[in-house]
Amino acid sequence: MKFVDEVTIKVESGAGGNGIASFRREKFIPFGGPNGGDGGDGGSVYLVASKDLNTLVDFRYTRQFNAKKGQQGMGSCCTGKGGDDLYISVPVGTIVFDADTEELIGDLVEAEQKLLVAQGGQHGIGNIHFKSSTNRAPRQFTHGEPGDKRTLRMELIVLADVGLLGFPNAGKSTFIRAVSAARPKVADYPFTTLYPNLGVVSVDKYRSFVVADIPGVIEGAAEGVGLGIQFLKHLSRTLLLLHIVDVSGFQSDPVEEIKTIEKELQKFSDDLSRRERWLVLNKIDLLPESEYAKQCDDVIAELNWTGPVFRISALNKQGTKELCYKIMDQMDDSKNLSEKLD
């Protein structure tokens, strides 16, 4: 299924039902007085976060959503039925903007979370409310208010603990296949990954984290080259970035690749460029055992890298288990720190 992470839709809540002017008409009661009831409230439109959805693709085919109108009031002081609310399911991680004003309406980050995006119109009132000692037979009533009409722009940013960053063919998809049950496409040509993939990594019973694999970043990505910023934003919610690099040097210079991506991160977002980032030197299986250690040390020294460094072969799963345990410990520490601050 095609991954869709941004759509525009229109929503309209239901109008409130009108009140009515009505009078009691019964045998032997010649002056029955007013008995016009109120209208019903119009239905509202809500967005509901669902864990069963992972793209916005359904909104490519249905763009208009309308809630029900409120029923008109009736005689005998009967109130009209309110319009049914409309609930629209969206993936967890959806951000909602008003397309006309660019106002942020809400961010749906938890399953079953609801967001009101169009308030139903208020009901009109019947002539029973206008009765007084000086107005014994009022004919006034009010109309229901119209519903809200809004154009919404929805963006999906996947929810993951760890984001994979790297050039095309660095081995990101191979890594996520090695550590989780996710099965993204793997091939020996660039951009085999065309949309984000999520994988759940279980390291122990009741201990797991979520990894997001996005399409490879190339020079100029922040300006839209390649797949550009279309998917870089999916790393914005992650707690940790794994910068995966092909350390073999057969296709390109690993140091230059690392520096290029660092520049693109800075152009795209200061916050993302400051996110904790671990260097993962991949494809050590392509080098003789006597050479890969020196190759890795040379890359680290040239970069003057002071953060965590891991040497792995995602294809052979060499070093991946140890890396996953380190990530899990980092997630636990972050969680404990967050709980203390709260």
Q: What's the mean pLDDT in 218-235?
A: 57
Check if the beta carbon of residue 196 is closer than 8 Å to that of residue 230. Answer: no
Distance of CA 53 to the CA centre of its chain: 10
- Across the range 12-23, mean pLDDT stands at 95
Query: According to the model, what pLDDT value does residue 287 have?
Result: 85
DSSP 8-class letter at 23: B
- In whole angstroms, give the CA distance from residue 94 to residue 5: 9
Q: What is the DSSP letter of 8?
A: E
Contacts of residue 137, Cβ cutoff 8 Å, sequence gap at least 6: 23, 33, 34
Q: Measured between alpha carbons, how far is 42 from 11 in angstroms, rounded to an integer?
A: 13
Say how many C-beta atoms besides its own lie within 10 A of residue 29's C-beta: 9
- Judged against a pLDDT cut of 70, whether residue 289 lies above it is answered with yes
Name the percent of the chain lying above pLDDT 90.
Answer: 43
CA 87 to chain centre: 17
Amino acid at site 297: D
Q: What is the pLDDT at residue 67?
A: 96
* pLDDT tens readout for residues 178-190: 888 766 555 443 4
Q: Calculate ∠ Cα 295-300-304, nearest 5°.
A: 150
Q: Which domains does the chain have, with CATH numbers?
A: 6-156 (2.70.210.12), 162-341 (3.40.50.300)
Those residues whose C-beta lies under 8 Å from the C-beta of residue 180, and which sit 6 or more positions away, are 199, 200, 201, 211
Local structure of 221: helix, strand or coil: helix
Q: Between residues 40 and 168, which one has the greater pLDDT?
A: 40
- Local confidence band at 4 (pLDDT 50, 70, 90 cut-offs): low
Q: What is the pTM of this model?
A: 0.71
Task: Examine the pLDDT at 222 and tell me if it is beyond 50.
Answer: no
325 or 191: whose pLDDT is higher?
Answer: 325
The predicted structure's pLDDT at residue 186: 53
Query: If we measure between CA atoms, which residue out of 81, 62, 59 comes closest to residue 70?
Result: 81
Cα distances from 275 to residues 133, 166, 218, 291, in angstroms, run: 72, 15, 19, 31
Q: Cite the DSSP H helix spans in the chain.
A: 172-179, 229-232, 254-268, 270-273, 289-303, 320-341
- Residue 191 — very low, low, confident or very high, per pLDDT cuts 50/70/90? very low
